[in-house]
C-alpha cells in the first residue's frame, strides 16, 4: 500500500476504499471535511456491515484552523425501561438478540449535529448528495470483502437465528462469499427516506416510530419515545499538552482519557530515562507499561460523567501522570491481566483544503451488534448497552438514561511544527494502544503515516477477534525483542504478521505549507484518497 503525501486540496482515509472514494468525491465537488465525512460514514455503514451500521453510535472531533476543536457525542443512553427489573430473569444482559438492543442508536444524530457545524463553515451540499453513494451501494450491491465473508461465516451459528439477520445479512441462509455481489434493498430505502425527510426522521419521524415499534415487538426495552427523546450533544474534548504539541480526545463515557494518559505517562517515562530507540525493547515495554497504568485508572473511574467520583481532567494532571510514570520498572512487566472489552468499529479521518479536520468513529460495539436487523429498514442495531452490569454496585451499573462506557475515541493533534493530525483505529481495548503506537512513530520519530501504520504492532489484552489477555505481537517483530519481552515478564503470544486483531488504523496530517500526508492500514480493505 502506497502512502499519499503530495495532495493539497483534501484527503480522506477509511477502512474501505469505497467509503474513501465517497468522501473524496464530495471534496472534489467543493464540500468541506464534515460533508465528506457524512458521505463516507453513510457509505461505510453499507460496505462494512459487519463493523458498523446506522444502528450504532458515533463520535466526532472537528477542528478548523485557529480555533479549539469541538467534540460531538452520538451516544444513546439506556432506555427508560432498561433497568434491573426488566432483566430480573438474567444474571447479566444477554449479549445478542432484542434484549441486547437497549440503547438508542446515536450516530445518525451525530451526523445531523456535525452538519450544523458544516453549515457554519459555509457547507451547502444537500443531504441527497451526501447520501447518494451509500444509496447506490445498498441498492446496486457491494463486492463482499474478505473480512465480511470470514466474519459472517465465523458468527453464523451464533447469529443466524437473530431477528432479521438471515433475511438481510445472509444469502440463501449462508454467509456471502468473498467477491460476491451483496445487495441491501431495505437499507437503501431507509437511506432514501433520510435523504428526503431529513436525519431527524430517524428519531422523531415515521422512520423512528417504525423502528421503535419494531424493537418493542421484538422484546427490546427500547420504545419509539426513547428514540424521539434522543439528541446528540456537543462536548468539550479533553486535551493534554506534550513536549511537541497538544493532543485531543473525547471525554467520558469514552476511554479517550486513557489514550491521552498513555501518551502522557510515556512522555514522562522518557523524560526520566531518556527517549528510547524506535521499535526497540524500551519503546515497546514503555508503551505497554504506560498502557497498564492508564487502563487501571480508566477501569477505576471512567463511566458516564454523572456517575464519576472525580472530574475526568483530574486523570490528566501532572501529579497523577508523574506518579504513574515513576511506578514503571524499565526492566520488569507489571503483573497482568485486567479485564478487557472487545469491539467492532470503524475510524475515518478527513482534512480539507482549508485545513478543516475531522476525526470520526462509528460502531455497533460487537461484530453485527445485537444481531437484530429491523425488518422494514435493514438497520442492524447495536449492543453497546451490554457493557452495563446488573450489579447495582458495579462501576457500569445499569440505570435508565445512563450512557454506556464506550471504547470509541477518535484522536486529533496539533504539533509545534505546524502539523494538524487526525488518527485512530477500530479495535476495542486496542484503540488506545494502536493510537499510541502510530502517533508516537509519526510525531516523535518522524515516520510517515504509512510507515507508522504498516509497522508491526502489539496488543495487550482482549480486543476484536481475541479473547485472551496476553501481550500479542505480530510475527514480524525481531525474535530477539520478543525474547527480551518474555524475559521481562510479559506473557507474549505471536499472531499473524498483519493481524486484524491489531485494528484498522489510519492517519492524515496537514503540514504548514498545506501539504497533506496520509496512510491507511493494510490490515483493512481501506485506502487513503486525496487530490
Q: Which three cell numbers stand for residue 252?
A: 467520558
Dihedral sign, Cα of residue 421, residue 425, residue 428, residue 430:
negative
Distance CA 258, CA 298 (A): 6
On whether the CB atoms of residues 149 and 176 are closer than 8 A, the answer is: yes
Per-residue CA distances from 381 to 54, 73, 181, 312 (Å): 8, 18, 23, 29
Helices (H), 146-277: 146-154, 156-159, 165-169, 185-197, 201-204, 206-218, 224-229, 256-273
Distance CA 349, CA 20 (A): 9
Distance CA 498, CA 501 (A): 9
Catalytic residue among 190, 254, 345, 434: 345
On whether the CB atoms of residues 439 and 249 are closer than 8 A, the answer is: no
**Residue 407 DSSP class:** -
Query: Is residue 364 annotated as a catalytic residue, yes or no?
Result: no
Any idea what the Cα angle at residue 393 is, between residues 387 and 394, rounded to 5°?
25
Q: Which three cell numbers stand for residue 169?
A: 445479512
Angle, nearest 10°, between helix axes 127-140 and 17-28? 150
Q: How far is residue 274 CA from its own chain's centroid?
A: 32
Q: Which three cell numbers stand for residue 210?
A: 417504525
List the catalytic residues: 345
Amino acid at each position: 500500500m502506497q502512502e499519499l503525501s503530495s495532495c493539497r486540496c483534501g484527503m480522506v482515509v477509511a477502512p474501505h476504499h469505497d467509503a474513501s472514494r465517497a468522501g473524496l468525491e464530495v471534496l472534489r465537488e467543493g464540500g468541506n471535511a464534515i460533508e465528506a465525512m457524512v458521505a463516507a460514514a453513510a457509505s461505510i455503514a453499507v460496505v462494512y456491515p459487519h463493523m458498523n451500521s446506522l444502528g450504532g453510535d458515533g463520535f466526532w472531533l472537528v477542528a478548523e484552523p485557529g480555533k479549539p476543536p469541538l467534540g460531538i457525542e452520538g451516544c444513546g443512553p439506556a432506555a427508560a425501561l432498561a433497568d434491573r427489573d426488566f432483566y430480573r430473569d438474567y444474571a447479566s444482559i444477554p449479549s445478542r438478540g432484542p434484549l441486547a438492543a437497549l440503547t438508542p442508536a446515536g450516530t445518525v444524530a451525530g451526523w445531523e449535529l456535525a452538519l450544523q457545524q458544516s453549515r457554519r463553515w459555509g457547507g451547502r451540499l444537500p443531504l441527497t448528495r451526501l447520501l447518494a453513494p451509500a444509496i447506490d451501494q445498498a441498492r446496486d450491491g457491494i463486492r463482499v470483502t474478505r473480512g465480511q465473508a470470514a466474519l459472517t461465516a465465523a458468527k453464523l451459528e451464533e447469529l443466524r437465528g437473530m431477528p432479521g439477520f438471515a433475511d438481510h445479512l445472509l444469502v440463501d441462509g449462508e454467509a456471502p462469499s468473498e467477491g460476491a455481489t451483496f445487495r441491501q434493498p431495505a437499507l437503501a430505502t431507509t437511506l432514501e427516506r433520510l435523504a428526503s425527510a431529513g436525519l431527524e426522521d430517524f428519531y422523531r419521524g415515521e422512520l423512528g416510530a417504525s423502528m421503535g415499534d419494531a424493537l418493542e415487538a421484538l422484546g427490546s426495552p427500547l420504545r419509539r419515545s426513547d428514540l424521539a427523546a434522543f439528541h446528540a450533544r456537543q462536548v468539550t474534548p479533553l486535551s493534554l499538552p506534550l513536549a511537541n504539541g497538544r493532543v485531543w480526545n473525547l471525554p467520558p463515557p469514552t476511554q479517550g482519557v486513557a489514550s491521552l494518559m498513555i501518551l502522557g505517562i510515556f512522555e514522562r517515562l522518557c523524560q526520566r530515562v531518556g527517549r528510547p530507540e524506535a521499535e526497540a525493547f524500551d519503546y515497546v515495554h514503555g508503551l505497554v507499561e504506560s498502557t497498564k497504568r492508564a487502563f487501571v485508572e480508566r477501569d477505576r473511574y471512567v463511566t458516564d460523567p454523572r456517575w464519576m467520583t472525580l472530574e475526568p481532567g483530574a486523570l490528566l494532571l501532572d501529579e497523577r501522570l508523574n506518579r504513574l510514570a515513576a511506578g514503571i520498572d524499565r526492566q520488569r512487566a507489571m503483573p497482568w491481566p485486567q479485564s478487557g472489552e472487545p469491539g467492532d468499529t470503524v475510524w475515518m479521518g478527513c482534512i480539507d483544503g482549508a485545513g478543516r479536520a475531522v476525526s470520526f468513529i462509528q460502531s455497533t460495539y460487537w461484530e453485527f451488534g445485537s444481531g437484530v436487523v429491523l425488518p422494514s429498514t435493514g438497520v442492524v442495531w447495536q449492543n453497546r448497552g451490554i457493557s452495563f452490569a446488573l450489579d447495582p454496585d458495579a462501576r457500569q451499573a445499569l440505570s435508565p438514561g445512563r450512557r454506556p462506557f464506550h471504547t470509541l475515541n477518535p484522536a486529533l493533534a496539533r504539533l509545534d511544527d505546524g502539523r494538524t493530525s487526525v488518527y485512530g483505529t477500530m479495535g476495542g481495548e486496542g484503540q488506545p494502544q494502536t493510537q499510541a503506537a502510530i502517533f508516537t512513530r509519526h510525531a516523535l520519530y518522524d515516520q510517515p503515516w504509512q510507515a507508522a501504520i504498516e509497522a508491526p504492532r502489539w496488543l495487550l489484552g482482549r480486543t476484536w477477534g481475541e479473547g485472551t489477555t496476553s501481550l500479542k505481537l505480530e510475527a514480524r517483530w525481531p525474535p530477539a525483542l520478543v525474547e527480551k519481552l518474555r524475559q521481562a515478564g510479559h506473557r507474549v503470544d505471536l499472531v499473524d504478521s498483519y493481524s486484524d486483531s491489531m485494528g484498522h488504523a489510519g492517519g492524515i496530517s496537514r503540514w504548514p505549507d498545506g501539504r497533506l500526508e496520509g496512510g491507511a492500514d493494510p490490515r483493512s480493505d481501506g485506502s487513503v484518497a486525496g487530490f
